[in-house]
Structure 1
């Protein structure tokens, strides 16, 4: 919205046309929205808080009951609001890239909200249930992903780049995917990223910090791929309007930083599935838009570790009739069982995330 002020070329308002300025503004506004309104949101959510089930097995039932009502869930609502408002203010809304990022974030966030709400009903009384079933959630995520890819293929400003698939470490190695293959691929990317972030949200600040690192990486990639000179220098595909995804990514980073202020140990609120699915979907659609999906497992290495450990544990448990690879899955609980403190685990996972992001970004030049 503020971008249109840059039309006044003879005034200082022309600064609003610069992506770097608008990205910084988006991050700052999203951060301030979360920090300022978080106390009120925490008080509001405490009326609907659920017991932090992620602590089951580590503390007694009495402690769980004592904690219930003290640490509210569904704080992801505030993240979504902050990102939405900041993006509306600072990004160009006339480009499909901006609208698509918001659409995927809101859709995944709504799905997570539905899941959280059903869990809350289960905690409130006998008519509740355990949340959205895995099959139903997968189906909903498939619909969102298919719709997103279809829009990419049809929108005038994205249809030229939509079929592209870049391969890391190979210079100008571009493949052109038919729409149906791209839809299957997009479903896998969005589903994997959304659930990877969701599974990582098991310790105070873990998923939030890892998301900040991963999204900052894709924010930089979006800026580079949206610039003709930089994309040519790095041999990455130039994507028209891709730079606006950097503004959206900056808003996500700013909102996560603000949320981390209250989510660091001891957490004042949890993001819940509302936030983790919305953030995962946002990261996934960023990777799809900038056509760097194949380095997502590298940049999002922490999320891969978390989701992969849960999958391996489940498959091995079923195949061996009850044996386990890890003491407990996802893997951050394995280290907790081995005696690492929560602060140690979170900090070390952030370090791993930073190293993975550096390696992922390095692939842009190593071709």
Structure 2
């Protein structure tokens, strides 16, 4: 919106506005805008959540130290969504379809989380949406993203070619080539790609959701992950850098750098209120929105296989739950961890909450830095 006004409309009359054409400049402003929105609007939203008595429910089987958190305002993810989406709309080129796909995906997953939280805290149903309904809505949102990308592929604006870390000459296409040129069979031809997108987005959104169990843990890891994605989107959209790093050249995805910068700024601002001891929790509306956003950006820039490294902590948390459930069912009640997700296991080992959070942040940073080094390890 501001890009359209300040650069496309006013630049011919006021030459200093040329700075608004630079992606790095607009990304910096989007990050600052998102941070300020989160910091300034945060107290108002927290107060409203208290007034509406939208408090967090704490499971009785969880760590006993968490019982004192009962009643802390939740659904703070509404603040995150506002702080991410508004700067994106203000500073990005709104004629770019990838911006709208990412914004739409974030909003869709956020609405799923909002419905889940609303049922929990307003209707006092601790389970929220049923697992089947929640998963069904996530799959539907992911399908919409996949279909939109297939439409762009048929127009020549996108490629389903997969980027494989460490192997520069192996870039398989996720579609059945012989069917892709037949109009009525195009969607069938791209079925492998559609299923892959659904898997990535559903896994990403749920992984962030599972990580959101300690004050500041999920949002701190999101800052690091979003920071890494900011770098990846920028180099993927930059002609010189993408060519040097032998990445698929996708000039239009550069605009997503602004979205990722907004996610960094919004997450830092939310951490101000979510740091231990938390004044507000993000709830599913925040965790599902952030997970969906991270997965969508990774899909668009063709770095899905690098995503498990970029968000390594999210993967470990999700894997711990899968292993715990699998062990319990297959080994007749035997568990691998004292409690899942993984952060609760370390709490029950005697680690303080602050120590778990800090060490997981450090690991998240190590994972993200290693992911970025793979750009040259090809």
Tell whether the 8 Å contact from 2:58 to 2:69 is kept in structure 1 after alignment. no
Tell whether the 8 Å contact from 1:50 to 1:68 is kept in structure 2 after alignment. yes
Tell whether the 8 Å contact from 2:55 to 2:74 is kept in structure 1 after alignment. yes
User: What pairs up with 1:187-202 in 2 under 5 angstroms?
Assistant: 187-202=198-213
Tell whether the 8 Å contact from 2:105 to 2:296 is kept in structure 1 after alignment. yes
User: What pairs up with 1:2-13 in 2 under 5 angstroms?
Assistant: 2-4=2-4, 5-7=6-8, 8=11, 11-13=15-17
Question: CA–CA distance in 1 between the matches of 2:59 and 2:21?
Answer: 45
Alignment length (residue pairs): 359
Matching of residue 44 in structure 1 with residue 48 in structure 2? yes
Question: CA–CA distance in 2 between the matches of 1:90 and 1:142?
Answer: 30
Question: CA–CA distance in 2 between the matches of 1:31 and 1:272?
Answer: 19
In structure 1, the partner of 2:119 is 118
In structure 2, the partner of 1:313 is 324
Say which of 170, 173, 177 aligns to 2:174.
Answer: 177
Distance 1:130 1:14, change over 3 A: same
Matching of residue 335 in structure 1 with residue 346 in structure 2? yes
Question: CA–CA distance in 2 between the matches of 1:366 and 1:98?
Answer: 29
TM-score where L is the length of structure 1: 0.94
CA positional deviation for 1:177: 1.3
Question: CA–CA distance in 2 between the matches of 1:121 and 1:88?
Answer: 31
Question: CA–CA distance in 1 between the matches of 2:60 and 2:103?
Answer: 32
Question: CA–CA distance in 1 between the matches of 2:295 and 2:146?
Answer: 12
In structure 2, the partner of 1:137 is 134
Question: CA–CA distance in 2 between the matches of 1:158 and 1:244?
Answer: 19
Matching of residue 242 in structure 1 with residue 246 in structure 2? no
TM-score where L is the length of structure 2: 0.91
CA positional deviation for 1:140: 1.1
Matching of residue 204 in structure 1 with residue 204 in structure 2? no
Distance 1:156 1:311, change over 3 A: closer
Per mean C-alpha deviation after superposition, the further-off stretch among 305-314 and 40-49 is 40-49
Question: CA–CA distance in 2 between the matches of 1:331 and 1:156?
Answer: 39
In structure 1, the partner of 2:110 is 109
Tell whether the 8 Å contact from 2:200 to 2:304 is kept in structure 1 after alignment. yes
Tell whether the 8 Å contact from 2:112 to 2:134 is kept in structure 1 after alignment. yes
Tell whether the 8 Å contact from 1:83 to 1:255 is kept in structure 2 after alignment. yes
Question: CA–CA distance in 2 between the matches of 1:133 and 1:100?
Answer: 27
Tell whether the 8 Å contact from 2:164 to 2:170 is kept in structure 1 after alignment. yes
CA root-mean-square deviation: 1.7
- Specify every segment of 5 or more residues in structure 2 that has no aligned partner in the other structure, as ranges: 176-189
User: What pairs up with 1:1-367 in 2 under 5 angstroms?
Assistant: 1-4=1-4, 5-7=6-8, 8=11, 11-46=15-50, 47-53=52-58, 56-59=61-64, 64=67, 67-69=69-71, 71-123=72-124, 128=125, 130-155=127-152, 159-178=156-175, 179-367=190-378
Tell whether the 8 Å contact from 2:63 to 2:344 is kept in structure 1 after alignment. no
Question: CA–CA distance in 2 between the matches of 1:68 and 1:134?
Answer: 23
- Specify every segment of 5 or more residues in structure 1 that has no aligned partner in the other structure, as ranges: none
Tell whether the 8 Å contact from 2:56 to 2:121 is kept in structure 1 after alignment. no
